[in-house]
Amino acid sequence: MFKKFLSGSTLIEALISMTLITIGFVTGMMVFLNVTGGKNTERLFLLKNEMELVSVHIKKDQKFINEQINFDEGLILVEFMDYSKYLKKMKISGYNADKKLLLEWNELLLHSD
């Protein structure tokens, strides 16, 4: 009884249409997420690069001072904690303009006095 209603061509057409709908939905979601989330991703990338530069300069200069660095999108806080005579923990925190924590970076540093 169902054979006359469901022929092979209608099943193939249904599969093709479901596939096209799925591809359209996924493409739409990718475009939407790129448009809405692109600016935040770019800000985080710039903040991460700035934090890496701060880390490199601190390790090169061997100046372990707590400091606050302002940049165009917010600020970076650098804090140090002594673990032993030759081991320090460096914590670099990146905040946006609203003082919301975006990224945090912890590093152990060996140094000689």
Tens of pLDDT along the chain (113 residues)?
Answer: 455 565 667 788 888 999 999 999 999 998 888 777 777 777 888 888 888 998 898 888 888 888 998 887 789 999 999 888 888 899 999 998 888 898 898 999 887 76
What is the model's pLDDT at position 110? Answer: 84
User: What is the residue type of 86?
Assistant: Y
What is the model's pLDDT at position 91? Answer: 93
Beta strand 87-96 with 74-82 is antiparallel
Q: Per DSSP, what are the bridge partners of residue 97? A: none
User: What is the span of the domain harbouring residue 40?
Assistant: 2-110
Number of domains making up the chain = 1
Q: Please state, in angstroms and rounded to a whole number, the distance separating the CA atoms of residues 106 and 78.
A: 10
| pTM given for the model | 0.61
